[in-house]
Chain A
Amino acid sequence: MTPADTLRFATRAATGYPLRTALMVLAMSIGVAAVVVLTALGDGARRYVVNEFSALGSNLVIVLPGRTATGGLGLGNIITSTPRDLTVRDAEALLRAPLVTRMAPLSVGNSEIAYGGRLREAMVVGTNGDYVDIRAFRMAEGSFLPREDLGRASAVAVLGTKLREELFGSEPAVGRMVRVGDRRLRVIGVLGKTGQGLGMNTDELVFMPVATAQAMFNTNNLFRIIVEARSREAIGPAKQQLEDIMRLRREGELDVTLITQDAVLGTFDRILGALTMAVAGIAAISLAVAGILVMNVMLVAVTQRTAEIGLLKALGATGRNIRLAFLTEAALLSLAGAITGYALGHLGAWGLRLAFPVLPAWPPDWAVFAGIGTALTTGILFGVMPARRAARLDPVQALSRR
């Protein structure tokens, strides 16, 4: 019996019992679809996080007030002691670290911005001229904040592209005066489109000198200081230098937290690694269940087709012929299940992307291959026992069964 004939024979057998075949394909496809959807979710989350942090710029150390218990889960830190404020003076002092190239203080608050008749809620970010380079933003119009003494409260502002769109429409924005809170500021630039970054959409922000913002919100403290190290390798030593400087300024006590991207990404890596393990577990269970189903369905098929097996033996089929025919049938059913599951999984991933547009929920290639491969392997593995049973049937007794 040639392989082509075995394949054809098995195909006819599979299509000869449509209900059984459909049920088995469904069971197998649920397993594969689970793998595809769950890994799409996991990998989507991973990619989301990576994108968020790489949008932040590279080689960055973020300084925030207060000591955190865990040291590094990002923005929602648990502050354990009442910290001293982080000030513009601290920020300036940090620049003395030899491995630090640039620094940008951040002071953040909510206010309203108005131009002409249009009024809008906006998030205000007070910072300095280096911020645009640290974050590697591009200017669409004009220039970013001037590089000047951090104490100068110049009455200038830079708008995010979406904010500019909403306030000015097609009118030119650079040179116009806008009102932010109780101040009138001159628009000196508009940022290019940047999209999401660390939970705040830069396109909807209004930037101004840190002193202007602090005066507007009547405060002296900073929300965060972003420090750029000389290189990726310098991040560790730079962090050490920054800590030393801060400790010196706080009479030996370190009451700030320094976060590096690596630490943050490492945390997420651990979380996402655990997630992947869970996914693999669920997938393994669902595929094992599908495999047991394959085995039972094939055992029923062997029983149903006992007379046929006896006949094939009488016609001169070897045990090997029969084993291969049943194994091929099991493999075909698993393959059909795997392909259906792959399609279903992609449908599910598409649904996820519709439901959560920020999540790039695409199943990774390895998961797709692993899912289909596992489905085929389980199908064939669990098909071996029924196939062997079929091949070992006594032809005389098989033929006497009707």
Chain B
Amino acid sequence: MAQIELSGIERVFKLGDSEVHALHELSVSIERGEYVAVMGPSGSGKSTLLNLLGLLDRPNAGTYRLEGRDVTTLSPDEQAEVRRTRIGFVFQSFHLVPRLTAAENIALPLMLAGIPPAERHTRVTQALKDFGLEPRASHRPEELSGGQRQRVAIARATIMRPAVILADEPTGNLDRTTGQDVTHLLEELNASGVTLIVVTHDPVMGGRARRRLMMEDGRLLQDVREPAPA
């Protein structure tokens, strides 16, 4: 059984009289621990797909099974619970809470999950160490560089030890070298067993993934698998 199974997914946006098929007849399955790049031209439905996978959006038709369970029919609170425990998001624009420090931003998912402060503290301290953010622990996002911000965001996405990390153009706002650092960081997480699904326009980053989903007009154009690079 695949970790993620999408079959016959449709996502239609209605804009006045016209309809936009952001996703159309999409069926794909992804195994545990895969490294998948989602690529395609602008407007091809990449973000829409990622939002569906992250349970931030519901399909108009089709089923989505996550770890064997049909998650499209869950109640909003159950979906929130799945997001909290199984999924980590990384965004192009980082999405850190500006008034909170790096450490507090990383602790947000733990707080939402109701984990007691003492355990929260140890886990955040460990995460800060793992991501080389210790000296920045009490800095606010505005006092951090783009690369540091994205590292905080990744630390936050992984603090709940999710099964899947969804990243929408995580390097889109970073320069080349910083972007590479972030890519390496995500790949290290993938190497430890977490499923990594990245939306990217960058062919270099896309080329590093062992599987590429090429999208166009809401359809899956190509599903390219490659053996792991040596």
Q: Which positions in A face B, CB cutoff 8 Å? A: 1-2, 5, 9, 12-13, 16-17, 307-308, 310-321, 395-396, 399, 402
Contacts and interface: CB of A to CB of B under 8 A. Distances in A.
Contacts of B113: 316
Given A311-B97, A319-B76, 16 more contacts: A2-B114, A12-B99, A312-B108, A313-B83, A315-B84, A315-B112, A316-B84, A316-B109, A317-B80, A317-B84, A318-B81, A319-B80, A395-B56, A395-B57, A396-B51, A399-B56
B106 to A, nearest CB: 11
Contacts of B109: 315-316
A7 to B, nearest CB: 12
Given A13-B99, A307-B95, A318-B77, A313 B111 contact: no
A340 to B, nearest CB: 22
Contacts of B77: 318-320
B183 interface: no
A137 B202 CA distance: 99
B89 interface: yes
Interface in B19-47: none
Contacts of B125: none
Contacts of A17: 99
7 contacts: A12-B104, A16-B98, A16-B99, A313-B56, A316-B82, A316-B84, A396-B56
B112 A314 contact: no
B91 A316 contact: no
Contacts of B104: 12
Given A1-B114, A5-B111, A12-B99, A314 B56 contact: yes
A315 B81 CA distance: 9
Nearest to B77: A318
A2 B98 CA distance: 22
A314 B89 contact: yes
A316 B86 CA distance: 10
Contacts of A402: 93
Contacts of B82: 316
A87 to B, nearest CB: 84
B7 to A, nearest CB: 22
Given A311-B95, A396-B57, A1 B76 contact: no
A247 B164 CA distance: 103
Nearest to B108: A315
A308 B156 CA distance: 14
A321 B76 CA distance: 12
A37 B14 CA distance: 57
Given A1-B111, A9-B111, A402-B93, A314 B99 contact: no
A314 B104 CA distance: 16
Contacts of A318: 76-77, 80-81
Contact of B81 (A1, A311, A312, A316): A316
Nearest to A15: B99
Given A1-B112, A9-B111, A319-B76, A314 B83 contact: yes
B74 interface: no
Question: Which residue among B87, B99, B113 has the maximum number of chain A CB atoms within 10 Å of its CB?
Answer: B99
B112 A317 contact: yes
A315 B93 contact: no
Nearest to B89: A314
B54 interface: yes
Nearest to B160: A316
Contacts of B51: 396
Contacts of B112: 1, 312, 315-317, 321
B114 A315 contact: no
Nearest to A402: B93
Interface in B66-112: 76-77, 80-85, 87, 89, 91, 93, 95, 97-100, 104, 108-109, 111-112
Nearest to B100: A12
A399 B95 contact: yes
Question: Which residue among A316, A318, A395 has the maximum number of chain B CB atoms within 10 Å of its CB?
Answer: A316
Nearest to B113: A316
Nearest to A4: B117
B80 A313 contact: yes
Contacts of B100: 12
A317 B104 CA distance: 16
Contacts of A313: 56, 80, 83
A316 B74 CA distance: 14
A318 B81 CA distance: 8
Given A13-B99, A16-B99, A396-B57, A316 B83 contact: yes
A321 B113 CA distance: 10
B208 to A, nearest CB: 25
Nearest to A5: B111
A9 B111 CA distance: 9
A16 B82 CA distance: 30
Contacts of B95: 307-308, 310-311, 314, 399
A294 B114 CA distance: 29
Contacts of B83: 313-316
Contacts of B93: 402
A311 B104 CA distance: 14
A316 to B, nearest CB: 2
A312 B108 CA distance: 8
Contacts of A311: 95, 97
A310 B97 CA distance: 11
A13 B82 CA distance: 26
A310 B80 CA distance: 12
A9 B97 CA distance: 11
Contacts of A13: 99
